[in-house]
């Protein structure tokens, strides 16, 4: 993925009590709808239309994120709950992929 395609600004926010969130990190990212039937079959409880991937440049701070205690806010105010831990794509330390669900 080229850096030019990462047009969205996102903020990762963490919590300990699920009531108060604090900013962990802001960065540029690419948010895209998930495709692939195996993801939806494995996670049948999720609405496919609201499931996305969030791709960002590799940063060690992102690899340490706990998906159960973190959410993502984009520049338009949309909120996403992380569904998966950070995935260092092919282990090359170039980009990180998260799967998330948009909250409406």
- Taking only the tens place, the pLDDT of each residue in 37-95 is 555 555 555 555 588 999 999 999 999 999 999 999 999 999 999 999 999 988 889 99
Lookup result for tokens 């799967």: 99
Please give the pLDDT value at position 60: 93
pTM of the model: 0.81
Please give the pLDDT value at position 27: 95
Give CA separation, 103 vs 19, 80, 100, in Å: 16, 6, 9
54, 77 Cβ separation under 8 angstroms: no
Among residues 80, 94, 97, 93, the alpha carbon closest in space to that of 39 is found at 97
Q: Domains in the chain and their CATH numbers?
A: 3-103 (2.40.10.270)
């Amino acid at each position: 993925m080229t850096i030019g395609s990462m047009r969205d600004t996102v903020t990762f926010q963490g919590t300990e009590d699920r009531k108060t969130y604090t900013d962990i990190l802001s960065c540029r990212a690419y948010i895209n709808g998930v495709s692939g039937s195996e993801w939806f079959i494995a996670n049948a409880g999720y609405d496919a239309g609201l499931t996305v991937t969030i791709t960002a440049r590799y940063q060690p701070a992102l690899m340490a994120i706990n998906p159960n205690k973190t959410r993502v806010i984009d520049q338009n105010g949309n909120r996403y709950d992380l569904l998966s831990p950070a995935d260092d794509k092919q282990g090359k330390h170039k980009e990180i992929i998260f799967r998330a669900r948009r909250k409406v």
